[in-house]
Amino acid sequence: MSEQDTQNPQATPRLPPRHVTQEVLGQAGRRGPFRYGERIQVTDVKGSKSTFHLHPQGHFQSGRGSFHHREVVGRQEGTVLTTDSGHELLLLRPLLADYVLSMPRGAQVVYAKDSGQIVALGDIFPGARVLEAGVGSGALTMNLLSAIGEAGSLMSIERREDFAAIAASNVDSWFGGHHPAWELRTGDFNDVVAARVEDASIDRVVLDMLAPWENIEASARVLAPGGLFLAYVATTTQMSRTVEALRHSRLFTEPEAWESMVRTWNVDGLSVRPDHRMVAHTGFLLAARRLAPGSAPLTRKRPPARGAYDDAGHWIPEDVRERTSTDRKVRRVLRDCRAKQPEDATPVLPGVPTAGGDDAPQEPLDD
């Protein structure tokens, strides 16, 4: 700003920020008419959805009509707008499940059918103390934070600093600022837990990683008696090895494993039938409860099968054909995420004490 503008603040009008920091976090802070800086979802008659932020100079353009953002600000959510071309467009704020599909991502996300199972069957309650590992792009993190509320606590651990930074941007963007119950750290799960988490201080451990069996002992140490261990894995080999490791530890109840599949239906008068396509396998979920110290698991009615897996080596994404983003894409997504961070952005903290101090933020990655 020039010296003249400094002396006369009215000379250069300030536009509203692209992203608004909310006084009330999440959807509760986005009630009422549409405002500049908040996210809007436009749906056409074919079901195509577009998500973007409202800006004073913004303009929406599609094959089924267009409008200026200023025409939307002040309208109520649920408005059906008729464009100059005669097309109808539905205006809504996106739900969390919609946002997960449209947000920037560096890693694969946990979709609603699985995150809903984790929150419900994992009994993630308001005020819960939760430890999460494998943050990815932050999809599951947002569901966990919504469930525990501001009275709970969630520590998220991510190996990759770039993934952690992308997740922090996505989570902050959804809630409209830093969630006070969230602490995000980078590093190896076992190292971070050993340095940061007290024994028997956690209600729920949720792991979304390649080799959750490597972290069973550390999880058992921090879980309170009766606490729940839950892992999300992509393949049957990962599921089998994790289940056998839980049994071998003799620190948990008999593990339960399942998957969920979603099939939508076409309902149109007398034409009521299932759709030809469905969301089938995305991942397996398995859960077990922490036993009290000194207690042993119930005796199994059937003897365990002989081990049929390889105990050697460190697993990498290619071992289970996991789709990974290229470093170039991750750098691009990270650059875009940093450009839209709010003033109270969630810091990405080191998992273990560093020379710069226990909680010195990570140095920015080179673009």
Residues of the chain predicted below pLDDT 70? 1-21, 302-324, 355-358, 360-367
Q: Which CATH architecture has domain 27-94?
A: Roll (3.10)
Class of domain 99-264+277-290: alpha beta
Per the listing, tokens 């699985």 go with 114
Per the listing, tokens 């199994």 go with 300
Domain limits, the chain: 27-94, 99-264+277-290
- pLDDT score recorded for residue 76: 97
Cβ neighbours, 10 Å, residue 289: 15
Q: Residues with Cβ < 8 Å from 192, sequence gap 6 or more?
A: 157, 185, 351, 352
Fold match flag (27-94 vs 99-264+277-290) = no
How many Å apart are CA 211 and CA 65, to the nearest integer? 48
Tens digits of residue pLDDT in 167-183: 999 999 999 999 999 99
Secondary element (H or E) of residue 237: helix 236-249
Q: What are the start-end ranges of the E strands in 44-186?
A: 49-53, 59-62, 65-68, 79-82, 88-92, 129-133, 153-158, 182-186
DSSP state of 354: B
3-state DSSP call for residue 161?
Answer: helix
How many Å apart are CA 151 and CA 126, to the nearest integer? 7
Q: How far is CA 177 from CA 27, 48, 125, 169, 173, in A?
A: 12, 29, 22, 9, 7
Per-residue burial over 213-224, b if 16 or more Cβ lie within 10 Å, else e, is bbbbebbbbbbe
